[in-house]
Amino acid sequence: MNDKGSRKDPADTVKKGGKLEDMVEYFSGVGHPHPISEVVEDLRQKMLSKGFDEVQTSDFLPLRDIKQLTGNLYPAFMDSIYHLSWLRMRPIAPSKEIEMVLNERDPGMDQARLWNILDAMDEDTSGEDLLGKLVDGLGISHTEAIAIMNMVPELTHGERVDEEETLRSFMPTSWISTLEATYDREAFPIRLFTIASLFRREPRQDSRHFRTYHILSIAILDEDMDLRKGKRILRRLFDLIELDDTRTIEKPYHFPYFEKGTELEIFGGDLELGTCGMVSRNVLGERNIDAPVFIADIGVERTLMYKHGYPDIRELYFPQFFAAWNLTDEEIAASIKYIRRPQTDYGREISNAIYKCYKENAESPEVNRKVAWSGILVGSDYGNFLVSRERAAEMRMQGRPAEVVLVEGAPGHGLTGPAAFNEVWVKDGEIIGAPPDLSRKMEVSGAIRTNRSYVKGFARLAAWKIEKAVGIGHTVKLLENVKDLEGMNMRLTSKALQYILSHKKKVDIRGPVYLKFLFHTSGSPKDLDE
């Protein structure tokens, strides 16, 4: 019987030596993306999903724009900017020295015709143009023409021409012309983003400094935009890319491109992640833009370093050039950690209750809503906290009723999807997600159990979110499909991550989980997505 799904594409075969050679092995499987490319694409999709329009900005910027950005600070930064120049060919006068060299190579060369070609050169003649003219005008091969070009010293040196352009080294300078071109008061708010390369001539390249890197840059133009709103937008952006514990401080010196006192540096720990601020009204006025503009630049590589613990940006860029240590499967298994975990006693109690409720209803697809935990929300001088119903009765405590409810994440699946109870295993340096009924098979194969499961990761994430939400009295989370460890509230230590990347090992824990919880107190929304 013919299986149409197994037919080979004719393009997968080539004729070699009179026979058809199977080529499918060269075009099969799934390749390994570079971590930077992977995160750039992830950032693009997230920004697009939040309504930001993507634009491209030029890699080349006029020097005047750099000077406008830096003002009297230009001397401090001019040596870190790549100023552009190029080599221009120029007309060459005949000389006995050149004729002697050419005669030694080819005594029969028609030098009059050659000099006619060289004399016709001007500042717009490119080396490639000259090559073609020599081939056509002298009737010689490209190899012979290139040999002649290399025998004339003046053609290999040229005249350096300095440009009034630079390679982009500061992202804000790229925005002003784009904002001018897209300015339309009827379209407010204008929300733009780009992920661009920056080039900085670092005097030395070390663990934190590299001469090219990527920036996620956003620009928002609106009538009532200010720094306070900008900082709130920045916080939402960090939530979107799951970046915690960041802080901003005012820049110690002032770029005139920004309104004084609004330019902030963004840090994760002691690592600078980017900058943000309000564009100067003077700069905007010169381009006839009469509304405030907030700009934020987030370093993609720096974000990866902070988020995943990369010790060296060079290892992130070029893992193939850095020797990686060997790790056993047991060491990799021990390196997988939960990212979000409850920090309070009541948070840990809620996490356990959520996991227990999922376990008890795993075989009940007809159940589409279940209270996992109930208690009260108590206010005190030390802040809000939750207490279980039993503990509240025992302590005679009063407060607002509170519930944690598990809800069906997809019709017909009950409270959990097919992969919800998958466990994480390590086998031959690769990380695998497998359902419980394959546990015996995994053990026999020599795989190492991590004691981490998808539903456990979700339960801890849910409890952590509830701890953060006690002040507002409600929160919700829906997880449909697991694509990577982070999606299931897990991550590798930097050492294990480097090992996985350097050795091109796989992490495959994909699967549909359909997990959803909601937390609410009396007077707050009972289902935030309805």
pLDDT at 524: 57
* Neighbour count for residue 59 (Cβ, 10 Å): 14
User: With 50 as the cut, is the pLDDT of residue 3 above it?
Assistant: no
Q: How confident is the model at residue 475 (pLDDT cuts 50, 70, 90)?
A: very high
User: Is residue 2 assigned to a domain?
Assistant: no
* 312 in the same domain as 356: no
Phi/psi zone of residue 128: left (φ > 0), alpha (ψ -120 to 50 degrees), beta? alpha
pLDDT at 530: 40
User: With 90 as the cut, is the pLDDT of residue 422 above it?
Assistant: yes
* 377 in the same domain as 456: yes
Q: How confident is the model at residue 23 (pLDDT cuts 50, 70, 90)?
A: low
Q: Are 491 and 371 in contact (CB under 8 A)?
A: no
How far apart are the C-alpha atoms of 243 and 486, rounded to whole Å?
12
* 176 in the same domain as 130: no
Where among 107, 129, 157 does a domain terminate? Answer: 157
pLDDT at 2: 44
* 139 in the same domain as 196: no
Say which residue, 516 or 526, is predicted with more confidence.
Answer: 516
**Three-class SS state of 223:** coil
How far apart are the C-alpha atoms of 175 and 287, rounded to whole Å?
11
* 151 in the same domain as 103: yes
Cα atoms in the 13 Å half-sphere on the side-chain side of 388: 15
* 94 in the same domain as 78: no
Sequence length of the chain is 530
User: Is residue 439 assigned to a domain?
Assistant: yes
- Percent of the chain surpassing pLDDT 90: 46
Helix (H) or strand (E) holding 337: strand 336-338
Query: How many distinct structural domains can be found in the chain?
Result: 3
pLDDT at 140: 87
How far apart are the C-alpha atoms of 300 and 6, rounded to whole Å?
41
Q: What is the phi/psi pair of residue 10, to 5°?
A: -55, -25
CATH at 60: 3.30.930.10
User: Is residue 44 assigned to a domain?
Assistant: yes
CA distances to 166, 204, 218, 528 from 215, rounded to whole Å, are: 17, 20, 10, 34
User: Is residue 31 assigned to a domain?
Assistant: no
Q: Mean pLDDT over all residues of the chain?
A: 86
* 336 in the same domain as 312: no
DSSP 242: T
Q: Are 188 and 291 in contact (CB under 8 A)?
A: yes
Most confident residue range from 97-111, 460-474, 481-495: 460-474
pLDDT at 407: 94
User: With 80 as the cut, is the pLDDT of residue 19 above it?
Assistant: no
Say which residue, 137 or 215, is predicted with more confidence.
Answer: 215
DSSP string, 125-185: --HHHHHHHHHHHHT--HHHHHHHHHH-HHHHH-EEEEEEEEE---THHHHHHHHHHH--G
Amino acid at site 77: F
Given the DSSP bridges, would you call strands 190-199 and 53-54 parallel, antiparallel or unpaired? Answer: parallel
User: Is residue 323 assigned to a domain?
Assistant: no
Q: Which of 1-10, 286-295, 461-470, 507-516 has the lowest mean pLDDT?
A: 1-10
Most confident residue range from 134-138, 155-159, 174-178, 450-454: 450-454
Q: Where are the alpha helices (DSSP H) in 312-438?
A: 313-317, 329-334, 345-360, 389-395
Where among 137, 157, 177 does a domain terminate? Answer: 157
User: Is residue 306 assigned to a domain?
Assistant: yes
Q: Which of 39-43, 70-74, 92-96 has the lowest mean pLDDT?
A: 92-96
Edge-to-edge strand list for the sheet holding 83-88: 60-62, 159-167, 83-88
Phi/psi zone of residue 64: left (φ > 0), alpha (ψ -120 to 50 degrees), beta? alpha
CA dihedral (326, 327, 328, 330) in degrees, to 10, reads 180
Angle at 98 between CA 93 and CA 99, to 5 degrees: 100
DSSP string, 439-454: HHHHHHTTPEEEEEEH
First vs last C-alpha separation in the chain: 50
**Three-class SS state of 398:** coil
Q: Are 372 and 404 in contact (CB under 8 A)?
A: yes
Average pLDDT over residues 187-203: 92
Q: What is the pLDDT of residues 224-256, one digit of tens each?
A: 999 999 999 999 999 888 888 889 999 888 888
* 342 in the same domain as 209: no
Nearest to 320 by CA among 79, 93, 102, 501: 501
* 368 in the same domain as 252: no
Q: Which two tokens stand for residue 61?
A: 């910027």
How far apart are the C-alpha atoms of 60 and 205, rounded to whole Å?
23
User: Is residue 9 assigned to a domain?
Assistant: no
* 416 in the same domain as 437: yes
Where among 135, 157, 179 does a domain terminate? Answer: 157
DSSP 52: P
* 264 in the same domain as 357: no
Range of the domain at 130: 90-157
Q: What is the pLDDT of residues 335-351, one digit of tens each?
A: 899 989 998 999 999 99
* 188 in the same domain as 276: yes
User: Is residue 438 assigned to a domain?
Assistant: yes
pLDDT at 523: 62
Say which residue, 94 or 478, is predicted with more confidence.
Answer: 478
Say which residue, 212 or 209, is predicted with more confidence.
Answer: 212
How far apart are the C-alpha atoms of 422 and 513, rounded to whole Å?
9
